A and B are shown apart, each in its own frame.
Chain A
Amino acid sequence: MSRRVLTLAAVLLLLAAPLVLPEFYVTLLNYIGLSSIVALGLVLLTGVGGQTSFGQAAFVGIGAYTTALLATRYGISPWLTLPAGIALTVVIALFLGFITLRLSGHYLPLATIAWGIAIYYLLGNLELLGKYSGIAEIPPLTLFGVALADGRTFYYLIWLVALLALFAVSNLLDSRCGRAIRALKGRTTMAECFGVNTARLKIVIFVYAAVLAALSGWLYAHFLRFVSPQPFGVNASIDYLFMAVIGGSTEVWGAVIGATVLTFLKQWLQELLPKLTYESGNFEIIAFGLLVIVMLHRARDGLVPYFARLVPADRKRMLPVASEPPPRRAQPQRGDLLLELQGVAKRFGALVAVKDLSFEMRSGEILGLIGPNGAGKSTVFNLMTGVLAVDAGKIVFRGERIEYLAPRDIARRGITRTFQHVNVLASRTALENVALGAHLRGHAGTLSATLRFDRAEEARLRHEALRRLEAVGLRGHAFDAASTLPLSSQRLLEVARALCADPVLLLLDEPAAGLRHLEKKALADLIRSLRGSGLSILLVEHDMDFIMGLVDRVVVMNFGEKLAEGSPREIGTNPDVLEAYLGSVA
């Protein structure tokens, strides 16, 4: 039984459920559908994007109260209050996102707790919103003149929206933006180096999740036809997080499974425990906490990934169909001045990592950057790609100063790199990792990805990624998770990803480390053929045989300074270089 069949079965079960289940369970399923929509936002934001929010219930509240107020007091049609609620949510989410998401770590959780508490008090204290007693007699939704007043009818609306949301988020995650979103969790530097505006993308997924929550709130208000502040507090937000985590916060179906398990668990504990203990106490909260802990001890990634192991993945992975490559950029004229470092310096506290470094590079050249460990080579890469800010000096690329630019702007100008410490999305396939390199060669945004308007472009990007994988000899591993490849192959994966960006200048940080002899030879051939196609390459490497047979010129660094510069032959006999590497001969 494949996953596709399981999904289909789940949808059919959902369709049939209200025909056979008693009213009570239909209501329960309605609540599960409403929660699934919110938890789905958290899968995108928290599980995949790595940003924790404690404020989703408050966004549900915004959606619910907007329609409640506009529909009861001003008699506006519920179909018009939906866009109003969403617009309000977007404005608030943009503000909260702007002040917190440019920072790392803990600021979003805190700001959303603050926002959740504030909105709860606001809803409870405003006369206009009925204070703590809320707003009643919200009109039902009407569709073609038929009022959706009955739970069984409303069931289909809720689950239609939930399944559409599920479809939308899976589409988004399976796209150019989706690859970038996955990199937000702990790989922001790498993503920035391939042109992803990570701060903006974090805000985008925060707004996306907030809109899903507001949509759920709008449905909630017209389903229950009554709103009060209680279900929109921080506790409810925490419940949504529980759902996402227990279901499996990296999978879209995790939201549905988590919402189902949690809702039934709470319901059963409330019914069952008073019968067992003969007193109504807070035993259900104790049992609930205990069960959650046990569940996460057994399946820390959530229930969906835990059981997904039992179901074989769909075997036939579709290789990307052949399609024309995405547009390439024009390479500069061979021999033109490409890159110039002038007096570049970088210090970390008292440690001088790079000191008064100057060299230049011409287009179509392979330049080797060598030096003993700790000479500052990787720091130079980080300065050139904007990952670190220079303390002094200029970096000029094609006549333009770039030392003050952000990594993504430098990437846009055609400088791409690999990382000394392999920096890949471990659980994603090799193909996806390489396709991330082509981020700047595509343009489809979150909306077109959600609506599947990006397929033609996506096919081009994926096929380009496959061609690059083939170039480094990893075509056979296209669908293997990156973490399952040996380290040397992961290095080649990085090379393929960098090539996928169609660079003008390629920075390779120890690409041959750990490679076997034949693999090194293949890599050297690849690098030569790249030069043949007009690419310029700056190469950091420790393997002297590899580098000396390959490069046109060498710059030698020691203790952050340039020690020597020249052809491989000159460098090989330079006494200063020999001393730096081997110690004094005399």
Chain B
Amino acid sequence: MNTAIALWLSQDAVMNGAIYALLALGLIVVYTVTRVILVPQGEFISYAALSLATLQAGAVPGTVYLLIIAGVSVALVDTIALVRRSPNRGAASATSPRNDASGAIARILFWNVLVPLLVAAAAWWSASRRDLLVLQVLVTIAIVTPMGPMLYRLAFQPLANASILVLLIVAVAVHYMMTGLGLVFFGGEGLRSQMFPGLTFQLGILSITGQSIAVVITAVVLILVLAVLFGRTLYGKALRATAINRIGARLVGISAEFSGRLAFTLAALIGAVSGILISPITTIYYDTGFLISLKGFVGAIIGGMTSYPAAAIGAVMVAFLESFSSFWASAFKESIVFTLIIPVLLWRSLTAQRIEEDEEP
């Protein structure tokens, strides 16, 4: 291996590491807030990448229909829940129960039916307009991101108090479903979206593509935005409070459902952005996202599933490991990445001092 190859591999690793770090972040937000290990995070990546490629090819992606169906289902479930709950509400809304309920239904319909239909219209209009790359990117984000909260509402909110194991199994079942749907929407063929217009320039012996810079900058900006969101805004603080103490957060008026929806929205947004960023670099198949998000998961695990900076460092470590092992032993690339976790575990195990209490059953 010479310096040029090492630098080239490092560039690759930094780019992938930025994406893994983003994904690790999303996984940790969702896990700490809802205790769900978000296995289907990878499907958001695939859906976004393939939807963008489909739009660029001039067709409306199948994910649009999924968005509409999921939205209608959420609207149904929410309306039924509202109707069932209303007789018990009694005095609180006695002044204008009818207005209250119809207002709530209007809100439900707006967010879950009208917005998806608008997104669908935008998708139909932007498909085939090759000159509107940015618009297509935005439409893709608008298709994929709302699926996060809808997924939470339909699959996980009814199980909010279930054990981590049950939530994990449901997450795997959702992953199966979404992968199967991905095959239906996009077929077994891989797609690659068109490169962002950009330049390639020479830095010493290393040629740097505009794409890789775009990836790193977007990832870093997104991480900073999230840091500000968590540190400075009320919504971010609500999420952090829920993560630290679910019951305590509820007692001070932070709704667990709200926090869950927000966490899933962030995760879906992160997945969508990651998918868009990598889609011009590698060919994406309907099931590629899973393996990508698994590496984010490994990063998150190295960070102990709780610490954001440690997870980001872990994610970059994974990327470097992957990049260099693909050079030395490409056939064993995946197994090396996963097996070299064992020394990390061994080290942590030997340095652990006392018995740690597991989560309450």
Contact B335 A121 (CB under 8 A): yes
Please pick, from A98, A103, A245, A289, the residue contacting B166 in the complex, using a CB distance under 8 A: A245
A111 interface residue (CB < 8 Å to B) = yes
Q: Which residues of B sit under 8 angstroms from A288, Cβ to Cβ?
A: 173, 176
Q: How many Å lie between the Cα of A426 and that of B361 in the bound state?
A: 10
- Do residues A99 and B177 form an inter-chain contact, with CB atoms below 8 A? no
Q: Is B147 part of the contact surface with A, judged by Cβ < 8 Å?
A: no
Q: Would A192 and B349 count as touching, CB distance under 8 A?
A: no
Docked Cα-Cα span, A114 to B346, in Å, equals 13
A185 touches B346 (CB 8 A): no
A107 with B345, Cβ < 8 A, contacts A283-B180, A289-B174, A296-B159 known: yes
Nearest CB in chain B: distance from A291 CB, A: 8
Q: In chain B, residues 346-361, which have Cβ atoms closer than 8 Å to a Cβ of chain A?
A: 346, 348-349, 352-361
Number of interface residues of B (CB under 8 A): 48
Alpha-carbon distance A122/B334, docked complex (angstroms): 12
A window 110-124: CB within 8 A of B: 110-111, 113-115, 117-118, 121-122
A52 within 8 A of B: yes
Which residue of the partner chain, among A102, A185, A192, A297, contacts B361 with CB atoms under 8 Å?
A185
How distant is B20 from chain A, measured CB to nearest CB, in Å?
15
Task: Assess whether B4 is interfacial by the CB under 8 Å rule.
Answer: no
Report which of B163, B183, B359 forms a contact with A105, defined as CB distance below 8 A.
Answer: B359
> In this assembly, does A188 line the interface, its C-beta being within 8 Å of a C-beta of chain B?
yes
Decide: B357 and A186 in contact? CB cutoff 8 A.
Answer: yes
Q: Is the CB of B352 within 8 A of A102?
A: yes
Q: Is the CB of B334 within 8 A of A117?
A: yes
Q: Which residues of A contact B173 (CB under 8 A)?
A: 242, 288-290, 292-293, 296
Are A104 and B159 closer than 8 Å at their CB atoms?
A: no
A99 touches B345 (CB 8 A): yes
**Distance A110 CA – B353 CA, assembled complex (angstroms):** 21
Contact A245 B169 (CB under 8 A): yes
**CA–CA, A52 to B169, complex, Å?**
11
> Do the beta carbons of B165 and A52 come within 8 Å of each other?
yes
Interface contact A103-B338, CB-CB below 8 Å: no
Asked if residues B349 and A99 are in contact (CB atoms below 8 Å), the reply is yes
- B358 touching A188, Cβ below 8 Å: yes
Chain B residues with CB under 8 A of A81: none
Contacts of A110 in B (CB 8 A): 298, 301, 341, 345
Q: How far is the CB of A232 from chain B (nearest CB, A)?
A: 14
Chain B residues near A486 (CB-CB < 8 A): none
Given known A104-B357, A186-B357, A188-B355, contact A111–B169 (CB-CB < 8 A): no
Distance in angstroms from A129 CB to nearest chain B CB is 15
- Cα–Cα distance between A117 and B346 once the two chains are bound (Å): 18
Minimal Cβ-Cβ distance residue in A for B166: A300
A284 CB to closest chain B CB (Å) equals 8
Question: A184, A241, A242, A285: which contacts B180 (Cβ < 8 A)?
Answer: A285
How far does the Cβ of B176 sit from chain A's closest Cβ, in whole Å? 4
Cα A106 to Cα B357 in complex, Å, equals 13
Assess whether B355 is in contact with A99, with CB atoms less than 8 Å apart. no
CB neighbours (8 Å) of B342 from chain A are 99, 111, 114
Give A111 to B349 CA distance when docked, in angstroms: 12
- Across the A-B interface, the 6 shortest Cβ-Cβ residue pairs: A289-B177, A104-B356, A286-B180, A289-B176, A285-B180, A114-B338
Whether the pair B177, A52 counts as a contact (CB closer than 8 A) is no
Kindly state whether residue B170 has any CB partner on chain A within 8 Å. yes
Asked if residues A293 and B155 are in contact (CB atoms below 8 Å), the reply is yes
User: Given the complex, which residues of B lie within 8 Å of A281, measured CB to CB?
Assistant: 180, 183-184
Query: In the complex, A509 Cα to B332 Cα: how many Å?
Result: 56
For residue B220, CB closer than 8 A to chain A, the reply is no
A98 to B352, CA, bound (A): 12
- Give the Cβ gap from B163 to chain A, nearest Cβ, in Å: 8
Q: Give Cα distance in the complex from A43 to B79, angstroms.
A: 38
Decide: B166 and A186 in contact? CB cutoff 8 A.
no
Contact of A98 among B176, B180, B305, B349 (CB under 8 A): B349
Q: A285 and B345 in contact (CB under 8 A), knowing A103-B356, A188-B358, A238-B172?
A: no
Selected A-B contacts with CB under 8 Å, 19 pairs:
A103-B356, A104-B358, A111-B342, A114-B339, A115-B339, A118-B335, A121-B335, A199-B355, A249-B165, A283-B180, A286-B176, A286-B181, A288-B173, A289-B178, A290-B177, A292-B169, A293-B177, A297-B159, A406-B355
Nearest CB to that of B361 among chain A residues?
A: A186
